[in-house]
Structure 1
């Protein structure tokens, strides 16, 4: 939960809306049929729309989800960003997280090889 949205998710009106919506869906995930415990906003809440009740509290914008489906919804975009890609000249580029992991776990003085075959000492 983002810090700027904490007040909303802890509010009585959200708690009551969330509970009523889950009851209306019989606590069943609307995507896979598993037990639901999360009420997801189809149009994500942002700092710009957090005070707009048609976004935050309207049942047309809510969806009962299980944890797995909710994770898929929110992590699908970041997973796409983490895939290997190609530059315009055809060289493969690793996902950004890959470079961070390598840098963190590489011993000092170890060689680092770029994808273009160049090596340098870290």
Structure 2
């Protein structure tokens, strides 16, 4: 089964936009400053907006992230953690409650 937006990610337009956006950020993650490798959609592509070019190809909807920050972004949305724990900027699970 094809994921939503796969045709966009497979297009030459996306590849060109991705490269241009990475260059505009000097290849650095916008959150931690480490080398970035994922051009992330701030507003995720969904079945409802997959045909909206402001979402899919909008420069203002993009963010360059390293793999760890990208995982952290998706983990906070999709994999909630127990109270007293969170993810650090590298995506590692850490204890945050004070004793």
Name the TM tier (shorter chain).
0.7 to 0.9
Structure with the greater alpha carbon radius of gyration: 1
1:13-60 C-alpha deviation (Å, 9 max, x unpaired) = 111111100011011000000000110011111111111111111111
User: Could you state the TM-score of these two structures normalised by the residue count of structure 2?
Assistant: 0.76
Q: How many residue pairs get matched?
A: 82
Match in the other structure for 2:42: 42
- More contact order relative to length (CA 8 Å, sep ≥ 6): 2
Tell me if structure 1 keeps the 8 A contact 2:4–2:45: no
Q: Secondary structure at the match of 2:5?
A: helix
Match in the other structure for 2:51: 51
Q: Equivalents in 2 of 1:78, 1:58: separation in Å?
A: 24
| Cα distance, 1:78 vs structure 2 | 2.7
Unaligned segments of structure 1, at least 5 residues: 85-122
Higher helix share: 1
Q: Equivalents in 1 of 2:79, 2:7: separation in Å?
A: 29
Match in the other structure for 1:74: 74
Is 1:16 the counterpart of 2:9 in the alignment? no
Tell me if structure 1 keeps the 8 A contact 2:42–2:62: yes
* Superposition CA RMSD, Å: 1.5
Q: Secondary structure at the match of 1:14?
A: helix
